[in-house]
Structure 1
Amino acid sequence: MDHISEEKTEVPSSGNLSTPIVSLAPELLCSIFSHCVSNDQRKDAHSRDSIRCLFRAPLLLGRVCSRWRDVSISSPELWSSFAVGDDRGRPPDADLAKDLKATKHWISRSGSRPLSIRISYKLPRTYETMVRPILESLVSQSWRWKNVTLDVPSEFEAIIVAPFRNQILPQLVEFDSISKTPGSGEFILSSAPRLRVLSRIGPIDFSGGVHGIKQIRMDYDHTRNSRPSLDDLFSCFTHCPLLEDLFIFIYTDDEWRTRLPDELPSIIELSHLTHLYLYCMSGIDPCRLFDRLYLPALVSLNLHMWSSNASDPEWRQIQTMLAHSRPPLQTLAFSLLPMSERTMIGCLSYVPTLTSFHVYGTNLTDSILGSLTVDEADTNASKNLCPLLERIEFEDAFGGGKCHFSEHAMTRMIISRRKFAKNTPGTGMALKWIKASFQFDRIRSNPDIAECLNNGLRLVYCT
């Protein structure tokens, strides 16, 4: 092991040590060593030269005594999780040569164990000839990949994703490309049948049948041909029935990519989906999809439109989806959506479990405050919307929708929910946070509002 380190280290004989641990069986010693190896090593963003660092296991273990060295060398599981590269600057050429040597050493020591790897090279293209052999040595073991975290320029990413085009990755469970540059290369999901977590910039090929993936983050880049489309969203919904968490940014200016297929299933059920984050550019209309979606497990829904304008059709089908699904929704966020206040209130009527509600850039009036005001005459609380609501944010958008609230409506809403929570313990919750484009100083002197503030309510003004 010494030949891959920066310095030669003398290893003492195990006979010089009298501690009880030296008498342990090799199998037990290996098990103890396995717990010493950090499971998060591959995710350590500052693990400079971790595969060559003398102060990390298993290299550190091998410096204690000859017996520990023998056990660590003969334990492939200790070598199956490692980080390659450096994300803090441009390494000298000599470091890249050492990285290649160390990478081959760790691959050899890891035997046939599944690999968990972090690859980080923030280098210009001029280093490609030196980085390529390192990446190719890792790609040669793609059949063993279990977890891969990738932070490299697109030129280097193309080398790593090549197996997704023409190979099978039988053990891959998680692939996370956190590169800020546009991804390159075709990404065929069916090439990794056990993949459960995927994050990358650019589109994904969902063809090839049903996939068992559970988490997807599909961001966009600034190239014309690498932007997720509405059709990608449709394919994701229909090919990934076990999906639990989806983040997708649909950004396209190609008219054909803003449309859905003419024929859609009558119902698109995703019974496991709990978190949905959808970001769209103006002109993209997913309403036909939402009209068919059945999401009975949804806990968090975040919908955001960039550069919305008056010509965008209203997203009324969000209310339809919530009415059909009746999910246990806790968090709801609408940002710059083409949605009326009336439709928004309709959405709230189907999510009694809601605890957090955020609206940005929609024209709001006392009507929505009135809908959230508890009717004291309704003893069964059957008409009260969102009794568990704790956090509200109503924000104006620059050049967009504005909030116009009266002191009376705001005061009445806050006090009614406090009284409801006090009189019906376990059924209702008092508000804890309100952020709005509203001058709260005008109501702070109200004795009931002051009591709410004393009990922990925070009122935050935003421009």
Structure 2
Amino acid sequence: MSYSTGFTPQAFDHGITICEIEVTIGGDQYDTSALMRSESTRDRSEDATSKLDGVGALSVAQPPSQTSINTLPLDVLGEIFLHCRPTERYPVPSIRDAPMLLCRVCSLWRQVALSFPTLWSTFRGNMAKVTKPSHVSLVKLWLERSCSHPLSLALEPTPSSGLIMNEFLGECHRWQKINFFLKEDAGPQFLALRGESACLLESATITVWSGNWEADEVVPILHALPSLRQLTLYLSWKLTPAFAESTWPRLTHLTLNSEIFYSSLFALFSHAPNLELASITFVAVTPTMLNETLPSVTLPHLHTLNFSAEDYTGHILDTLTLPSLRSLGIANPNLDSDPEAFQRLIDRSSCRLDKLCLLGSEPDDDIVPYLELPCMQSLTILILEYGVFDDVIRLLTRNSESTTADDPGHILPHLDNLEISDVMTAEGLISKMLLSRWRPHSTVGLLAPLQRVRVEWRSAHCDGCPAKDHPESYETDITCFERLAAQGLDITWKF
């Protein structure tokens, strides 16, 4: 069974509108046009609870019974309604969008929309810069219509947003995903949460801004959540050792947007043995910390590691063993420190690296020794986002005399996805490299062809840039890019 919708709620902005929905099920196509007349001069204010649905705001002409979408089974119609919702992860409740808009079409659609709790179970509690009583009523309405379905909720700090938080807390036993920004407005209310009460909560994104409230009490609440698997934490202060010393045996995904000391990070890793993905904004390492003796930490399931550290990148990697590692991303690394640390990590872990992302390294750092490491030759995705010079592009250019992947003269023979930013190269050099790696009719045994390329040249107006008048300076490259795009390569470029 398949279905597609062509629902355009923007059509309701005018006096007489047509809503067209096309449905394909098992190869049969149903097509209907319902002519609806709205009163454009009517006050559309959402301040009154009686108008939350806009009931009676539309005069609906019922479509023919034999050709109407209404002949579909109600469960199919409900599934179609799910695809009519706004695309935002946490949409704001509005009478101009599904599901509230669907309640205004006809009595049948209203009945179907109200019978699908899923339609009402994901939303953002903020509807304006200031929370009004009518907004609280609307939140109550959505929570009621979601019945017992698990909830995905978001809340941002606005005056009186604590009123919304109180309504959310009343349904904490149904929370499945939350994205809360906690300040003085709603933070104190959140502290009333007993972690064990949110027994279904699997994913939490929490931003905590310190102020005139006990913001540091949020972390213990998160630790008490019995089903938490994915945690993204934004803090306005450095993580305390207490956070790292807590056990997190159920966590599989951890994103920390806060500075954490080197020793605390590895204490945290040792207390979260089931991590599969870890992204750490900044690891603080000082020379005195290097004298500390830290046991090696093994994370058997970790497949993705991203972190930022200005110095001692190699020292951080030497403390880890990651048998499942496939993706490694490092921001602001000092690449001149210890290139072999990457190789030691891969050898010690006996893993195969598929993706490498280096962000914001110094322009004078030498990336070439890293790309020449044996552990890098398995890469299929390479992302370089700082200071890509001629030597890197020349290294990536294949030797036209050989086409086999086992040729030792070829760098990154399996690479099919390349993203390079802050590019400063001679004209024509990138196009030559791409042509050497572009084989639109590649066969088994040949080098892997490129499939996706992103190129961003350094801005002509930034400090320290070569004096070039581009894009005219790169006409050769751009002409080649256009030709490769016509041949099927997924390529984009910008300055």
TM-score by length of 1: 0.66
Cα displacement (A) at 1:386: 0.6
- Provide the rounded CA distance (Å) in 2 between the counterparts of 1:149 and 1:293: 31
The one-letter code matched in structure 1 to 2:103 is: L
- Provide the rounded CA distance (Å) in 2 between the counterparts of 1:171 and 1:7: 29
Name the CA shift for 1:295/1:436 in 2 (closer, same or farther; >3 Å): farther
Name the CA shift for 1:46/1:455 in 2 (closer, same or farther; >3 Å): closer
Give the match for residue 290 of structure 1.
317
Give the match for residue 171 of structure 2.
141
For residue 361 of structure 2, the aligned residue among 324, 336, 350 is 336
Give the match for residue 327 of structure 1.
352
Alignment of 1:127-138 (within 5 A): 127=159, 130-138=160-168
Cα displacement (A) at 1:248: 1.6
Name the CA shift for 1:359/1:314 in 2 (closer, same or farther; >3 Å): farther
For residue 427 of structure 1, the aligned residue among 443, 446, 449 is 446
Which structure dedicates a bigger proportion of its chain to helix?
Answer: 1
Name the CA shift for 1:255/1:168 in 2 (closer, same or farther; >3 Å): farther
Q: Does 1:303 align with 2:339?
A: no
TM-score by length of 2: 0.63
- Provide the rounded CA distance (Å) in 1 between the counterparts of 2:254 and 2:84: 22
For residue 215 of structure 1, the aligned residue among 242, 250, 253 is 253
The one-letter code matched in structure 1 to 2:230 is: V
The one-letter code matched in structure 1 to 2:166 is: E
Alignment of 1:22-41 (within 5 A): 29=74, 32-33=77-78, 36-37=81-82
Name the CA shift for 1:169/1:415 in 2 (closer, same or farther; >3 Å): closer
Cα displacement (A) at 1:135: 1.0
- Provide the rounded CA distance (Å) in 2 between the counterparts of 1:459 and 1:175: 34
Cα displacement (A) at 1:146: 0.7
Cα displacement (A) at 1:115: 1.6
Q: Does 1:276 align with 2:278?
A: no
The one-letter code matched in structure 1 to 2:55 is: T
- The answer to whether the Cα contact below 8 Å between 1:170 and 1:193 also exists between their aligned partners in 2 is yes
Give the match for residue 115 of structure 1.
151
1:40-71 Cα distance to aligned partner (Å, 9 max, x none): 65945663xx1x63753257437733x77677
- The answer to whether the Cα contact below 8 Å between 1:9 and 1:63 also exists between their aligned partners in 2 is no
- Provide the rounded CA distance (Å) in 2 between the counterparts of 1:8 and 1:445: 59
Which is further off, 339-348 or 230-239?
Answer: 339-348
The one-letter code matched in structure 1 to 2:140 is: K
Name the CA shift for 1:17/1:252 in 2 (closer, same or farther; >3 Å): same
- Provide the rounded CA distance (Å) in 1 between the counterparts of 2:345 and 2:253: 21
- Provide the rounded CA distance (Å) in 2 between the counterparts of 1:341 and 1:378: 25
1:311-345 Cα distance to aligned partner (Å, 9 max, x none): x9546422321333442413432532697557424
Give the match for residue 81 of structure 1.
122
- Provide the rounded CA distance (Å) in 2 between the counterparts of 1:264 and 1:383: 38
- The answer to whether the Cα contact below 8 Å between 1:142 and 1:169 also exists between their aligned partners in 2 is yes
Paired residues in the alignment total 417
Give the match for residue 411 of structure 2.
385
Cα displacement (A) at 1:97: 0.7
Cα displacement (A) at 1:145: 0.6
Name the CA shift for 1:429/1:31 in 2 (closer, same or farther; >3 Å): closer
For residue 100 of structure 1, the aligned residue among 115, 126, 136 is 136
Q: Does 1:200 align with 2:233?
A: yes
Give identity over the alignment, percent: 16
SS in 2 for 1:133: helix
Unaligned residue ranges in structure 1 (runs of 5+): 221-226, 397-402
Give the match for residue 269 of structure 2.
237
- The answer to whether the Cα contact below 8 Å between 1:355 and 1:386 also exists between their aligned partners in 2 is no
Name the CA shift for 1:167/1:344 in 2 (closer, same or farther; >3 Å): same
Cα displacement (A) at 1:143: 2.1
SS in 2 for 1:351: helix
1:384-433 Cα distance to aligned partner (Å, 9 max, x none): 3211335363857xxxxxx8x8999x699849945999998653145667
- Provide the rounded CA distance (Å) in 1 between the counterparts of 2:479 and 2:104: 65
Cα displacement (A) at 1:219: 1.2
- Provide the rounded CA distance (Å) in 1 between the counterparts of 2:492 and 2:149: 55
1:2-61 Cα distance to aligned partner (Å, 9 max, x none): 94535873499xxx9995899999xx74774465246965945663xx1x6375325743
Which structure dedicates a bigger proportion of its chain to strand?
Answer: 2
SS in 2 for 1:156: coil
- The answer to whether the Cα contact below 8 Å between 2:151 and 2:175 also exists between their aligned partners in 1 is yes
Give the match for residue 28 of structure 2.
none
Unaligned residue ranges in structure 2 (runs of 5+): 1-45, 459-465
